[in-house]
Amino acid sequence: MKHTIEIRSYNLKPGSRGQFHRLVLEQSMPMLKRWNVDVVAFGPSPHDEDSYYLIRRYDSLAHRVQSQDAFYGGDEWKKGPREAIVSLIVSDTSIVLELDDATVQGLRK
């Protein structure tokens, strides 16, 4: 079975990665779980001090769009941690891949 995997990479404001990680752990991850978003892995990127990554799994490209539209369009995100999290991000990029189940499971922490 093929899965749609999104790898999101964040470039953060210098010195803010610890604060960003705390916000992800305490606010973003609980929300993603409530919204049934399958987070495969996330955390500080080991290649520099200001990078972070998030890997999510979706059933299809259409599922990715529907899931993200619902999550990011909802009041829980908009009135919740959005401003605190977004204020620490300089830029981000997403890469979308199709991977088999064994590869996805290998990416999980």
pTM of the model: 0.93
pLDDT of residue 109: 73
DSSP for 68-100 reads HHHHHHSHHHHTTTHHHHHTTEEEEEEEEEEEE
**CATH architecture of the domain formed by 2-107:** 2-Layer Sandwich (3.30)
pLDDT of residue 31: 94
> Mean pLDDT for each 10-residue chunk of the chain (109 residues)?
95 98 96 95 96 97 95 93 97 96 91
The residue extents of the domains of the chain are 2-107
pLDDT of residue 1: 81
